[in-house]
Amino acid sequence: QSVLTQPPSASGTPGQRVTISCSGSSSNIGSNYVYWYQQLPGTAPKLLIYRNNQRPSGVPDRFSGSKSGTSASLAISGLRSEDEADYYCAAWDDSLSASVFGGGTKLTVL
């Protein structure tokens, strides 16, 4: 059971916009930054969004992040086949004094 809650799966067709949610509590998302990682099949995770809504250089602006209260979202617009991957949210948890991850969302491009 992960501290952060994500839907196990999401899907969309090429060109569509999809969102992935991440729900937490006041001790994690509610008081700290949210990060998003993309894990392509058989590879290590890659930083996609940092500090709620910032993109590292090289990450397309099709990817965007937002946070409101104790929830966060990752949006992917103009969906492409290469976006098919697992997506994880993460945040620091003040009560646990630890970083915590969501259970991951498998995105399928139909």
Partner 1 sequence: QVQLVQSGAEVKKPGASVKVSCKASGYTFTSYGISWVRQAPGQGLEWMGWISAYNGNTNYAQKLQGRVTMTTDTSTSTAYMELRSLRSDDTAVYYCARVLGVGAHSQIDYWGQGTLVTVSS
Residue ranges binding partner 1 (CB under 8 A): 2, 31-33, 35, 37, 44-47, 50-51, 56, 88, 90, 92, 94, 96-104
- Could you give the count of Cα atoms lying within 13 Å of 80 in the half-sphere of its Cβ? 5
Task: For residue 68, count other CB atoms closer than 10 A to its CB.
Answer: 9
The smaller minimum CB distance to partner 1, of residues 16 and 54, is found at 54
Structure tokens at 8: 């196990």
Q: Is 72 helix (H, G, I), strand (E, B) or coil?
A: strand
Q: How far is the CB of 28 from partner 1 (least distance, A)?
A: 10
Q: How far apart are CA 90 and CA 104, in angstroms?
A: 10
The smaller minimum CB distance to partner 1, of residues 56 and 78, is found at 56
18: amino acid identity, one letter: V
Q: How far is the CB of 54 from partner 1 (least distance, A)?
A: 10
The smaller minimum CB distance to partner 1, of residues 52 and 77, is found at 52
Q: How far is the CB of 61 from partner 1 (least distance, A)?
A: 19
